[in-house]
Structure 1
């Protein structure tokens, strides 16, 4: 089972579907295994990993109901603290954003903005909106992945921070097209979220004016 990505909270493995579950037309699955933290009390560590694994599975499934493409969850393994899910074929947005022509980039980012609005309208914040956590499929759909830091939260603050994180990613990783890309995201967000979007966008500006943002995993 090859490791394809090592993260702070979880490792991702690629595995043949029949080896994990049963024979089917699906060739490969992605296995996300939440990492144990040695510095935590063992019982607390298990409870946290269990709750976060279960919550992530629920958020991914609920995002579909909101109209946002996400991987299919095949299995929630609460013994091994891992999720077995669809392997989405496509290109990570981080790798293609700057290579697109301007109209295509605007269309893609507008779609991203609309999908963020759908999540927020459904009471979900992603928690880690970066271009590394978005995949464009051959069919043109934009899949949101990695809801490991997500939560149910309808507050303006949480929504503002969600969008701020994406803005920060655009400025740091895609600085040459950041302004154009973010404006398209905002346009899509406003179009989908309508009047409720204005308060959130104002909060984004407030968050950015505060200076350093403290990531969720660093908060006490």
Structure 2
């Protein structure tokens, strides 16, 4: 059963295992395409595992093949359907742990979070990378705040709650939040 199809990959449910398979890009030379898809597949699996070791709930990786990741199916609801201030604070704590370990998610949205058994799981690390710069962390948080603003009512309260949780788990939270303000200003005048 197909769960999703994106520009980079198809995601299927096979039994109780989620399979994410990167699809070929016909506009690239085959050798280059295969190398890129293999590298991105390995990188995504590694970052999911590193995030988990940093205390961020993620699916467990079962197997990695050339262009394919097999992982745990998380039975729950996308966070966007159950979002509130309490959840936002938990997200802040998780993102703080992620950033403390030098991981940038790259696509922090409430659609890439699943609420299951009182836990929030981060999924879809397809755009994730390692970077400890304020700019990268600020952009990561800015993307999340844009999601709050466009998808959820009471987004100012969600941002305030996120910030509380983020400060609880990340010592550079204040500096990152200052950078988020700078990024927002840049966006307004672009």
User: Aligning the two structures, in what range does the TM-score lie when normalised by the shorter sequence?
Assistant: over 0.9
Aligned counterpart in structure 1 of residue 168 of structure 2, from 171, 191, 196 = 191
Alignment of 1:1-220 (within 5 A): 2-16=1-15, 28-78=16-66, 81-97=67-83, 105-137=84-116, 139-174=117-152, 176-194=153-171, 196-211=172-187
Secondary structure class of the residue paired with 1:54: helix
* Unaligned residue ranges in structure 2 (runs of 5+): none
Counterparts of 1:163 and 1:8, CA distance in 2: 23
Larger radius of gyration: 1
Counterparts of 1:46 and 1:183, CA distance in 2: 43
Aligned-pair CA distance for 1:85: 0.3
TM-score by length of 2: 0.96
Aligned-pair CA distance for 1:5: 0.7
TM-score by length of 1: 0.83
Aligned-pair CA distance for 1:115: 0.5
Counterparts of 1:205 and 1:35, CA distance in 2: 37
Aligned-pair CA distance for 1:167: 0.4
Counterparts of 1:146 and 1:115, CA distance in 2: 15
Aligned residue-pair number: 189
Aligned-pair CA distance for 1:13: 0.2
Runs of 4+ in structure 1 off by over 6 angstroms are: none
Q: Does 1 or 2 have the higher relative contact order (CA < 8 Å, sep 6+)?
A: 2
Counterparts of 2:71 and 2:155, CA distance in 1: 31
